[in-house]
Amino acid sequence: MKKVLKFIVYVIDVALMPIRTLISYEIAISTAILYDMSIKDLCDNVTLQVKLYPSLLKETTKNVFESKIES
């Protein structure tokens, strides 16, 4: 049952990634405007995080589904 629940949460996480990306860009742009920072630099940082997400997801997938300790 827990593996099924983990799988459902995993699928929802992957499915909502584009929405979280858009929200991250919105936050970066709003922060840049409010604090007179470079919009380009903050958006570049968000882009780097988005590029890293698939590799982080791949690494953590093994840990999530193969964990021996069940909470």
How far is residue 63 from each of residues 13, 40, 42, measured CA to CA in Å? 15, 35, 31
Q: State how far the Cα of 24 lies from the Cα of 50, in Å rounded to an integer.
A: 9
Provide the 10 A C-beta neighbour count for residue 28.
20
* Distinct helix (H) and strand (E) counts, the chain: 3, 0
**Which pLDDT score, from 0 to 100, does residue 24 have?**
94
What is the per-residue pLDDT across 16-40, written as a single tens digit (0 to 9) for each? 999 999 999 999 999 999 999 999 9
Model confidence at 69: pLDDT above 90? no
Stretch 45-52: mean pLDDT = 93
What is the residue whose two structure tokens read 């570049």?
Answer: 44
Stretch 12-19: mean pLDDT = 92
